[in-house]
Structure 1
Amino acid sequence: MAEDEEGLTADEKVQRSVGRSLRRIVTGSVLLVVAGSWGWMGYYELRPGEAAIVLRLGKHVRTVVREGPHFRIPPPIETVEIENVDDTRKEEFGFAGKENQETPHERIAEASMQTSDNNIVRVNFAVQYRIKDAFAVRYRLADPDMVVRDAAQAAMREVVGRETVDGVLRERRDAVTAEVQDLMERLLDSYDAGIQIKDVQLLDVRAPEEVQSAFDDVIAANQDAKRLVNEAEAHRNELIPRARAQRSELVADAEAYRASKIAEAEGAARRFTAIFEEYRKAPEVTRRRLYLETMEIILPDVEKIVIESGTTQILPYLPLGSRSGGAPK
């Protein structure tokens, strides 16, 4: 290079030096831009409800769920796949939904289930779910929606198979949905599916059309029975307070009668005690007085004469009848 520059003038030497400097600057700038662009490719941002699956050379290294800006080693070393985990998804069974391409025959077969008492019911229901593990849903399940449908069908058929037809149609609808949701969650967790069941809804449960009229009659009879029971309860609620009031009145009358009889007996006892005390002091006089008082009571309209025995003088007598004004008899 020095030999080449020996035959050059000073201006040519300067121009060649400037050219080399410019080439180095351009090359450095290009490399800097390329490096900056490659580094910028490591930036990504998550919106609310999104999760990022980070793969390093194809191997899962982490799942990011915090919203906001994030960085990874630029590709092809690390790649990012973003999954929406906040949306609620829905699968419907037994009827034609917006995306349900099944034929009417297939929908009837899907909805028809056998109860524990060997009856057939048609159950139309819906399942709402969300993603709780983005990596599991994307890489462990070939078809997440089909997995949910299969788990829902299996759970609903098992629960309905344990119930009677009356329980499914009326009495235990809420219990059925709760049991189906619990069974689905356990099934999906056993698959490590990364799916959370949010709700199970029984949209329509009925008997097959061929026997629907008979079931309607049974339902009407049950409603009549409930109405009669309610009327009987209302009548009972009306009679019980009345009977209680009558009972209270009778108890009060009995208490008053008891008190009066006790007072009467106590008075008689006091009179007897007083008479007995007098009798102890003068037995003969008391006995005589009681005899005369008794005669007054049992012979109120007869004049009575009492003759004193054992006397030789003028006959003494006691005209008891004159006190009542009656004529001698």
Structure 2
Amino acid sequence: MSDNQFEININPDWIKKYLSRIILIVVAIILIFSTIRTVGPEEEGVVIQLGEYNRTVMPGLNFIIPFAETMYKIPVQRQLKQEFGFRTSSAGTQSEYVKSGYGDESMMLTGDLNLTDVEWVVQYRIVDSYNYLFKVRNAEKTLNDMSEAAMRKIVGDRTVNEVLTVGRQEIATSVEVLLQELCDEYENGIRIDQVVLQDVNPPEPVKPSFNAVNEAQQERETLINQAEADYNRVIPRARGEAEETIQLAEAYALNRVNGARGEAERFNSVFAAYVMAPQVTKQRLYLETLEKVLPKIGNKIITDEQGSNVLPLLNLNKSSVNPAP
């Protein structure tokens, strides 16, 4: 034998012995990995034994019978979603969306025979894993079809202006209610959390015209709001001023009426006194009138009836305390 050659003697019994051990170890590892299943904290494990439902297991480590049992993990504690008219290509602070290829989902006919492009999201949860797996075949695809049918039905009952402007929230709510009714009828184990209209646009050829209409409607709403604000500011103030004027007029009228009644009562009392004593009453009225008039006529000179003598009654060099106006 040359220097570059060597001979290895292998004992066949040794190979057979260690090979069988290796095979047993590999089989044991395969059995362990095929027996143990880990169910996440937001999941339930549904175990199928020989093609038939057997049990539902909770989160954690669970054991199944290899080759006889199969486990499906259902995310019952997680909110799921389906997108229509677009797909999210990358989620994050600035998510990116892909719209090409999904126009058949979003293009719909409204009740007034106009086309509109409706993009929406259905957020849902799986509340019954058994019904989700066994009551409906391919529950995800069925929910997708039901969502599209519900949206087309609701949009088909509205005008294009309602879909594009004021009716968006009402449409989303109606679709959510209808979709939940369908899920309950199908018993698919799904609860609808929310339906969100992501974007609603007219078809591209008429989009500029619809945008102009929307701007005009928004301007109209702005003007209406401004007019209502002016109305609420001016009208209450005018009503207050009118009420104040009315109250002042009523007070003036009441004062005049009461004054007139007082004067009438005084006149009646004077007339009654005059009837009983005419001369005395006449004298008293004369003196009272002089008492009111004399202070207003300025300087006074009193003479006798013939005007020949001046009576020394008043200080003629001083002006009256209350001169005549």
Using the size of structure 2 for normalisation, the TM-score is 0.66
1:185 counterpart = 2:180: yes
Give the structure 2 partner of residue 92 of structure 1.
83
TM-superposed deviation, 1:38: 8.9
Give the structure 1 partner of residue 292 of structure 2.
none
TM-superposed deviation, 1:43: 6.5
Distance 2:269 2:128 in 1: 103
Give the structure 1 partner of residue 152 of structure 2.
157
Structure-to-structure mapping, 1:21-170, within 5 angstroms: 46-64=39-57, 66-68=58-60, 74-75=65-66, 79-98=70-89, 104=100, 107-170=102-165
3-state SS in 2 of match to 1:171: coil
Distance 2:108 2:33 in 1: 57
In structure 2, what residue type is equivalent to 1:67?
P
Distance 2:271 2:163 in 1: 86
TM-superposed deviation, 1:212: 1.7
Distance 2:177 2:165 in 1: 20
TM-superposed deviation, 1:216: 1.7
In structure 2, what residue type is equivalent to 1:51?
E
Distance 1:229 1:80, change over 3 A: closer
TM-superposed deviation, 1:171: 1.0
Instruction: Mark the runs of 5 or more structure 1 residues left unpaired by the alignment.
Output: 1-33, 297-318, 320-329
1:247 counterpart = 2:239: no
TM-superposed deviation, 1:140: 4.2
Distance 1:177 1:45, change over 3 A: same
3-state SS in 1 of match to 2:200: strand
Contact 2:274 2:282 (C-alpha < 8 Å) held by counterparts = no
TM-superposed deviation, 1:93: 1.4
TM-superposed deviation, 1:200: 1.4
Give the structure 1 partner of residue 202 of structure 2.
207
Distance 1:207 1:42 in 2: 55
Distance 1:146 1:156 in 2: 16
TM-superposed deviation, 1:81: 3.4
TM-superposed deviation, 1:119: 1.9
Distance 2:137 2:273 in 1: 118
In structure 1, what residue type is equivalent to 2:226?
E
Give the structure 1 partner of residue 215 of structure 2.
220
* Identity within the alignment, %: 35
TM-superposed deviation, 1:103: 8.8
- RMSD between aligned residues: 3.7
TM-superposed deviation, 1:178: 1.3
In structure 2, what residue type is equivalent to 1:253?
L
Distance 1:139 1:86 in 2: 19
TM-superposed deviation, 1:243: 0.9
In structure 1, what residue type is equivalent to 2:233?
E
- Report which stretch shifted further, 178-187 or 191-200: 191-200
1:238-294 Cα distance to aligned partner (Å, 9 max, x none): 212431342243134213312320232122122222133224425x759x959x98x
TM-superposed deviation, 1:198: 2.2
Alignment: residue pair count: 256
3-state SS in 1 of match to 2:102: helix
TM-superposed deviation, 1:180: 0.9
- Report which stretch shifted further, 194-203 or 84-93: 84-93
Instruction: Mark the runs of 5 or more structure 2 residues left unpaired by the alignment.
Output: 1-26, 91-97, 290-304, 306-325
Distance 1:147 1:244, change over 3 A: same
Distance 1:57 1:269 in 2: 116
Distance 1:71 1:140 in 2: 25
Distance 2:99 2:250 in 1: 81
3-state SS in 1 of match to 2:82: strand
In structure 1, what residue type is equivalent to 2:76?
V
TM-superposed deviation, 1:41: 8.2
In structure 1, what residue type is equivalent to 2:125?
R
Equivalent residue in structure 2 for 1:174, among 152, 169, 176: 169
Q: Which structure would you say has the larger Rg?
A: 1
